[in-house]
Amino acid sequence: MDKKFLVGFDVGGTKCAVILGAAGADGELEFLERGVFPTAEFREPERCIEEMTRLADGMLARHELTNDRLHGLGVSCGGPLDSRAGVIQSPPNLPGWDEVPIVSMLENRFRRPVRLQNDANAGAVAEWKFGAGQGVESMAFLTFGTGLGAGLILNKRLYAGCCDLAGECGH
């Protein structure tokens, strides 16, 4: 079976995570490896992104994968952000992360497609496709971490709104 290898980056106010996974032709997901570090250790965006790429490089090497074997990379982060432009704008729980063009930074580094999504929206899609939300047409996903968030699936589609903040329930 031909697998699509994927790298996920989660930028959080408390911790950052990097995950290497594989998707089979049947849509089944397999988590291969996960690495986590406290965000405070690498508070500046450039240093944090450098540490995430270092972890991803190590995972790829341990699984004998090269960048060209990657299908793509995804980044989740609390808002505000602009998913279409690929820019983290200035999340309240990430001081100094102002107008960070994370998608272009990672595309230049890995030479693979990269997508950015609000973390609550990413969680909503994951729960809808692979979790308790499978088979429903509409649902709300709530996340309680360093901040509060919500993602909405309406009529079998992610509803992000004009600024990727639809459904956000507070800060």
The set of catalytic residues is 119
Q: Do 72 and 90 meet the contact criterion of CB atoms below 8 Å apart? A: no
Q: Do 166 and 118 meet the contact criterion of CB atoms below 8 Å apart? A: no
What is the gyration radius of the CA atoms in the chain, in angstroms? 16
- Maximum Cα interatomic distance, the chain, rounded to a whole number of Å: 45
**Residues 6 or more apart whose Cβ sits within 8 Å of residue 78:** 11, 12, 13, 91, 93, 94, 118, 119, 120, 146, 147, 149
Q: What is the C-alpha to C-alpha distance for residues 23 and 4, in angstroms, rounded to an integer?
A: 5
49: nearest Cα among 61, 63, 39: 39
CA 44 to chain centre: 18
